Amino acid sequence: MGARGRRAAELPTTDVDPQWLSDLTGGGSPLPERPLSEVEWLYLWADVQPGEPSAEVSVPTVEDTVTEPEESTRIQQTDLDDAEGPQDGPEFTGRVTGAP
């Protein structure tokens, strides 16, 4: 959450590595610009090992000269192994940092 409890703007497709986006979407393009959560067929994989409380997921961003407000990411777990088809699980949010 941003200042005063407001959610930061979601990271758009034009702020991520275009090759990464293409690789994870089967050829998807960053254009037109849209929030990552609106990209069809974008799947991130995280392997949470038994006994571990978490796993790290990285989204590679590209450097630009645009001054932008704080940005966030939103990821929702999906269970693809459910007998009734894909089931939505918990949603996770993170913030975009300038750290490498």
Question: Domain segments of the chain: what residues?
Answer: 3-95
Query: The whole model's pTM is what?
Result: 0.73
Structure tokens at 80: 């693809």
For residue range 79-96, list pLDDT tens digits in order. 777 788 777 888 888 888
For residue range 45-79, list pLDDT tens digits in order. 777 788 988 877 888 999 888 887 888 888 887 77
Distance CA 4, CA 82 (A): 39
